[in-house]
Amino acid sequence: MSLFSRRADRHRDEETGRAADARPDPLGPEGEVGDGPETRPGDEPTGAPRAGVPAPRTEGGAGGDGRDGGQGTDRGLDGEPVTGNAPPPPDNVVVELRDVYKSFGPKEILKGVNLAVERGTSAVVLGGSGTGKSVLTKHVVGLLTPTAGEVWVLGDRVDLLDQDQLDRKRTRLGYLFQGGALFDSMTVYENMRFFLDRLTTLDRGEKDDLIDESLEDVNLPETLHQYPAELSGGQKKRVGLARTLILRPDIILYDEPTTGLDPVSVRVVSELIVQLRDTRGISSIAITHDLLAAEIITDQAHFLSEGRIVANGTLQEVRRSDNPVVEEFFKGTEAYGAA
C-alpha cells in the first residue's frame, strides 16, 4: 500500500472517528517538518527549515477549529482565518472566486468571475485562447491579486494573505505545468528530491520511499535515473504529476495537462487525475481545450469567454448551452477531433 493510499485510509478513519494512520506526513505532524535530519557530507543541514523557505502547513490550523473539514487554514496573527470580514464559503468548498475582476492597465481580463470548487471534485475551465483561463488559476495560487473581488482557498482569502501566510498556503497546492516543468539538468530522482530537500527534514530513506511510491503511482518507476530529454511527452507529464504529488497537496491545478499528447497518453493522464480524486480526495481545477480529457475529468465545467463565465454545469449541460461562443467552441473542437 502506498503512502498516499495510507493517507486516504487515514482520511476515511478521521471521518468515522477511528484512529488516524501514524505514518508521518512529509511536511510533518502538527505543522512541523519531518524527523530525522539528513547528514550526508556536502549537504546543507536539514535539521531546521532553510532560510527563506515557507513554513509547512498545519493540520487544523493554529486556531484548530476544524472549520475547513480538518484540513487546516493559514491563520492571521489573532489566530483567526483571514477573511476580511466577508462570510467564508461553505465547509465543502475549497476554492471560490467571488465577482473577480482583473485588469492590466486599461485592458480588462476578468470581468466578474464567479466560480466554486467543492472538496474532492474536478472542475474544468474551458474557453478559447486569450480568454483569461491562466489568469484565473494564477489568482488561486496567489501569483496575481484581483483588481476587485474575493479569492478564497481552503477557508482563507488568498488576496489578503501576507507573504508568509501565502507561502504556507502554497505548500497545500500543487501545480502541473503544460510541459511538466522538469529541470533538464537533473534526473527524475533529482527532480523529485528537489522539494523534499528544501521543505522537509525527512531522512534519505524516507525521501527515497516517497519518490519510489510517487513514481509507482504514475506507473513510471523505471524512469528514476533518466533525464527529461530521455522521456516522451506523456512520461514528462506523468513525472511532473508525481513531483506535484510528493508533498501531498489538497488541491492540484492543471494547466493544459494533455496538450501535445497522443489519444492514448491523453487517456492515461486524464485517468490518473480521476484516480487522485477518487482515491485520495484531491480537488482539482484543470484548464483544457481537449474534449477527451474533459469528458474523463469533469465533475463541473465552467466556460470562460471575454473574461466572464458564460456557462457552467456538467460537461453535457455546458455542451447544450445556446451561447453562440460555446456552440462555436464545441463545434470547432469536435470537427478538429474528427479530422
User: Which pTM does this prediction carry?
Assistant: 0.73
Locate 303 and state its grid cell.
Answer: 466556460
Q: In the chain, what's the furthest Cα-to-Cα distance?
A: 65
Q: Radius of gyration of the chain from Cα atoms?
A: 20
Question: How many Cα atoms sit within 13 Å of 140 on the Cβ side?
Answer: 30
Residue 301's pLDDT band (cuts 50, 70, 90): very high
pLDDT in tens, 171-221: 899 988 876 788 999 999 999 999 889 888 889 999 999 999 889 888 889
* Rounded distance between C-alpha atoms, residue 179 and residue 182, angstroms: 8
The confidence score (pLDDT) of residue 265 equals 84
Measured in degrees and rounded to the nearest 5, phi and psi for residue 114 equal: -125, 125
Helix ranges (H only) for 93-232 are 133-140, 163-170, 188-199, 204-217
Length of the chain: 339
Locate 187 and state its grid cell.
Answer: 534526473
Q: What residues are paired with 97 via a beta bridge?
A: 115, 151
Locate 53 and state its grid cell.
Answer: 523557505
Asked whether the beta carbons of 246 and 214 are under 8 A apart, the reply is: yes
* Rounded distance between C-alpha atoms, residue 148 and residue 223, angstroms: 45
Number of CB atoms found within 10 A of residue 230's CB = 12
Query: Residues with Cβ < 8 Å from 194, sequence gap 6 or more?
Result: 183, 186, 243
Locate 305 and state its grid cell.
Answer: 469567454
pLDDT in tens, 107-121: 999 999 999 999 999
Question: Minimal CA–CA distance to 248: which of 224, 222, 283?
Answer: 283
* Rounded distance between C-alpha atoms, residue 228 and residue 223, angstroms: 9
Asked whether the beta carbons of 137 and 288 are under 8 A apart, the reply is: no
pLDDT in tens, 255-300: 888 888 888 888 988 998 998 899 889 999 999 888 999 999 999 9
